[in-house]
Structure 1
Amino acid sequence: MTYRIEPAAERFSDLEDLFGTSGAFSGCWCMWNRQTNAEFQEQNYEPNRESLRANLAEGHEFGILAFDGETPVGWAALAPRGEYSRLSRSPVTKPVDDTEVWSVTCFVVRKGNRGQGVARALLAGAEQRARELGAAVLEGYPVAPDGDLVDTEAWHGLESMFVDAGFTEVARRKPRRPMYRKTL
């Protein structure tokens, strides 16, 4: 199946449709990697929703959406790594060097569309969008399943989709959490 990929800016109603009232998961609204734990606890649900809405309305680059016809079926968070403060604080995702990279940090796929290539289409779309915005390197932080994987773990993306898309492993600080890069 082919999915249409669009920048999320000015498409908040589509994002709301995809994320539902929970903001994809636990009121996140894709703000987790942009906040400290304390900020996330204070701002989850409605404050996070409003923050994402305001940023998209102002044209900030927060991510891309995948559509099946007119229905939003997937989301990938995409921005320069520096916009994700949590990445530098995490022992798993801290930078391996000083390379300026864009990061794809989160994948959300509508429940009825999982297992149909939406996340892979989003990763390809993230590459294209990052390239259009001047990025030279794209970095991701997938999960490497070692058995059964629950849906709430898959939001990082799966290692296999990064490998299949030509990304190269640059770090693995925990057995199930590699870091991958691709020169664009």
Structure 2
Amino acid sequence: MEIKVCKLITDLLDDWLYFFDNVAFEDNRGWCGCYCMCYHWTQQLAKERAWDCDKKCAPLNRAKAIDFIQTGRMQGYLAYSDGKVVGWCNSNEKKAYDNVNFNFAEEIPDNGEKIKSVVCFAIAPENRGKGIATALLKYVCEDARNDGFEYVEAYPFEHDENAAYHGPTALFENNGFILCNRIEGCRVVRRKL
């Protein structure tokens, strides 16, 4: 399988939307409303009930995601195969994530380092286990290095490897990440660039 990774830009918004509308959760409709918004939930979004991932929250999360992508607040990378999106990685400067329930920047303060966080992967069900998350992670690290980041940081779950949307621990270990902390049931792993 040939995989091409592209940084999400507004010109690729329709591809991103098609992936989240039709592909990413076709095997788990309970998550069909996430639109990768949970790491951007603020007190205001919580009041608007955007914190869930099911169908009833989909319209609000979708609209907010469009706005956040168009303004650069949500960033990440799309993986393509045969011209179709087969994967997504939500990755941005660590300080860009302001989830009031799980704020990585506050819970694991940096020491002035420039850190890029990897918070989520979504891989098309029929393409899981084919190296897409690895390709995305490698691209994130290379792009972060080119953009002057000192570290890439990620948050795989401590115990539940079946909830792999943070990425499984082995993915990070196999790509040069080391354990540096633990929070809220997650490992905190970093790769120095």
Residue in 1 that maps onto 2:3: 3
Once residues 85 and 13 of structure 1 are traced to their aligned partners in structure 2, the CA distance between those partners, rounded to angstroms, is: 25
Deviation at 1:63, TM superposition (A): 0.4
State how many pairs are aligned.
179
1:33 and 2:39 matched? yes
1:111 aligned residue (116, 121, 125): 125
Q: Give 1:161's aligned amino acid.
A: L
Comparing 45-54 with 65-74, greater Cα deviation is found at: 45-54
1:126 and 2:135 matched? no
Q: Give 2:88's aligned amino acid.
A: W
Once residues 158 and 9 of structure 2 are traced to their aligned partners in structure 1, the CA distance between those partners, rounded to angstroms, is: 30
1:178 and 2:173 matched? no
1:154 and 2:164 matched? yes
Q: Give 1:2's aligned amino acid.
A: E
Deviation at 1:130, TM superposition (A): 1.9
Going from structure 1 to structure 2, the CA distance change for 1:34 and 1:58 (only over 3 Å counts) comes to closer
What are the equivalent positions in structure 2 for 1:33-182 lying under 5 Å apart? 33-36=39-42, 39-40=45-46, 42-43=49-50, 44-60=57-73, 62-86=75-99, 89=102, 94-98=107-111, 99-145=113-159, 149-150=161-162, 153-173=163-183, 177-182=186-191
Deviation at 1:97, TM superposition (A): 3.6
Going from structure 1 to structure 2, the CA distance change for 1:29 and 1:22 (only over 3 Å counts) comes to farther
Deviation at 1:86, TM superposition (A): 2.5
Going from structure 1 to structure 2, the CA distance change for 1:136 and 1:97 (only over 3 Å counts) comes to closer
Once residues 100 and 190 of structure 2 are traced to their aligned partners in structure 1, the CA distance between those partners, rounded to angstroms, is: 15
DSSP 3-state at the match of 2:99: helix
Going from structure 1 to structure 2, the CA distance change for 1:57 and 1:38 (only over 3 Å counts) comes to closer
DSSP 3-state at the match of 1:166: coil
Residue in 2 that maps onto 1:20: 21
Once residues 49 and 16 of structure 2 are traced to their aligned partners in structure 1, the CA distance between those partners, rounded to angstroms, is: 22
DSSP 3-state at the match of 1:66: strand
Once residues 13 and 179 of structure 1 are traced to their aligned partners in structure 2, the CA distance between those partners, rounded to angstroms, is: 32
| Partners of 2:88 and 2:121 within 8 A in 1 | yes
Comparing 6-15 with 124-133, greater Cα deviation is found at: 124-133
| Partners of 1:22 and 1:28 within 8 A in 2 | no
Comparing 123-132 with 159-168, greater Cα deviation is found at: 123-132
Query: What percentage of aligned pairs have identical amino acids?
Result: 26
Question: RMSD over aligned Cα, in angstroms?
Answer: 2.8
Q: Give structure 1 stretches of 5+ with no counterpart.
A: none
TM-score, structure 2 length as denominator? Answer: 0.80
Going from structure 1 to structure 2, the CA distance change for 1:38 and 1:57 (only over 3 Å counts) comes to closer
Q: Give 2:79's aligned amino acid.
A: A
Going from structure 1 to structure 2, the CA distance change for 1:26 and 1:47 (only over 3 Å counts) comes to same
Once residues 16 and 89 of structure 1 are traced to their aligned partners in structure 2, the CA distance between those partners, rounded to angstroms, is: 25
